[in-house]
Amino acid sequence: MQTRTGNLPIGFRRLRFSPWQRDLSALITWAKAHDFPFIDLGPDADAEGRQVVDAGLGIGSADLPDWNSLIAADAGRRRAAVEKSAAYMQTCSKMGVNNFFMVMLPDKPEAPRTENFSLMVDSLNALSPTLDQLSAHLVIEGWPGPGALCCTPESVRAMMKACPSPNVGLNYDPSHLLRMGIDPLRFLEEFVPRVYHFHGKDTELLPEAFYEFGTEQPPTWASPHHFGGLTWRYTIPGHGCFRWVRAIEILMAHGYHTRGGRISIELEDEHFNGSEEGERRGLLASASYLASC
């Protein structure tokens, strides 16, 4: 499984909420049978990664444990989270893992954003020596969850200025940018030198819903989409608005392939999630589309 443009390997993110994917041995067997070269793992990669590697697959990324404590007001708690993360990275790096995934979700999302930003920078700079030593990367995803940081150009730009290590980087997920109204290609062109991981997920924008509900008031009767909101929904690649070939061209022009570049499908689509058969079809349909890009 690889893209037509740039020959980037195509794998997928293990869904920890999906019952059939909890059986890692069976998931590995299925992935190999369908020519997926790697799987992204959660915060248990230190314990389960060896099983993936011994089966002949790669690990695209591993979630860092305990994201919230890295952005906690208590300095001792932050220090302990940094030490735990550094030890985790050391263990996982022995299995060839060099991308460590997290979302910048603060322990207290209700706190002023500038305060949480300073706490985040403190932890990221404390993690940087381990990242630099291992030639590993932090890949921050811009999911705009409660109080989340590093989701917009404003905050990513500030993070990069405050965290000079080039190994403090990004997971590029265009689906989140699209739902926020941020041009995903312009974002990529600005920050591409620090992109080390790429999520294969799209977003469909729903103009009729924009007309019906606007953006400023909650609906009276309608419910949001599963894996979405009122005016948008996450989709498999090709079912949304994103220009995949152009993004791959930008990445290739800036050496993404020389940084171990991959595309990892993150399956969150109400048309496919919810059953084993549907999720398998969603992964294969995603891979087929990306292979044509």
d(CA 147, CA 116): 9
Question: What pLDDT, on a 0 to 100 scale, did the predictor assign at position 125?
Answer: 98
Question: What pLDDT, on a 0 to 100 scale, did the predictor assign at position 113?
Answer: 97
Distances from the Cα of 285 to the Cαs of 6, 62, 94, 261, 270, in angstroms? 20, 24, 33, 21, 14
d(CA 40, CA 4): 22
Which positions ≥6 away from 107 have C-beta within 8 Å?
68, 69, 71, 72, 73, 77
Per the CB < 8 A criterion, the answer to whether 188 and 195 are in contact is yes
Q: What is the mean pLDDT of residues 27-41?
A: 98
Question: What pLDDT, on a 0 to 100 scale, did the predictor assign at position 266?
Answer: 98
Residue owning tokens 């009276």: 220
Q: pTM of the entire structure?
A: 0.95
What is the overall mean pLDDT for the chain?
97
Per the CB < 8 A criterion, the answer to whether 106 and 147 are in contact is yes
Q: What is the mean pLDDT of residues 233-262?
A: 96
Beta strands 232-235 and 202-205 are antiparallel
Enter the tokens of residue 89. 């990275």
**What percent of the chain is modeled with pLDDT above 90?**
98
| Residue 288 confidence class, pLDDT cut points 50, 70, 90 | very high
pLDDT tens-digit readout, 37-95: 999 999 999 999 999 999 999 999 999 999 999 999 999 999 999 999 999 999 999 99
DSSP 234-265: EE-TTSSS--HHHHHHHHHHTTGGGGT--EEE
Distances from the Cα of 17 to the Cαs of 22, 97, 164, 222, 228, in angstroms? 8, 23, 35, 26, 17
Q: Looking at the predicted structure, is the pLDDT value of residue 244 above 90?
A: yes
> How many CA atoms are closer than 13 Å to the CA of 162, on its beta-carbon side?
18
pLDDT tens-digit readout, 173-200: 999 999 999 999 999 999 999 999 999 9
Domain topology for 10-203+239-292: TIM Barrel (3.20.20)
Q: What is the mean pLDDT of residues 109-132?
A: 97
Distances from the Cα of 13 to the Cαs of 41, 156, 287, in angstroms? 7, 23, 12
What 8-state DSSP symbol labels residue 111?
S
d(CA 97, CA 186): 29
Q: Looking at the predicted structure, is the pLDDT value of residue 250 above 90?
A: yes
Enter the tokens of residue 173. 């997920």
| Residue 243 confidence class, pLDDT cut points 50, 70, 90 | very high
Q: What is the mean pLDDT of residues 147-152?
A: 97
86-99 burial, b if ≥16 CB within 10 A, otherwise e? bebbebbbebebbb
Beta strands 10-13 and 137-141 are unpaired
Report the 10 Å Cβ neighbour count for 289.
18
Per the CB < 8 A criterion, the answer to whether 1 and 37 are in contact is yes
Q: Would you list the domain boundaries of the chain?
A: 10-203+239-292
Q: Looking at the predicted structure, is the pLDDT value of residue 260 above 90?
A: no
Question: What pLDDT, on a 0 to 100 scale, did the predictor assign at position 187?
Answer: 98
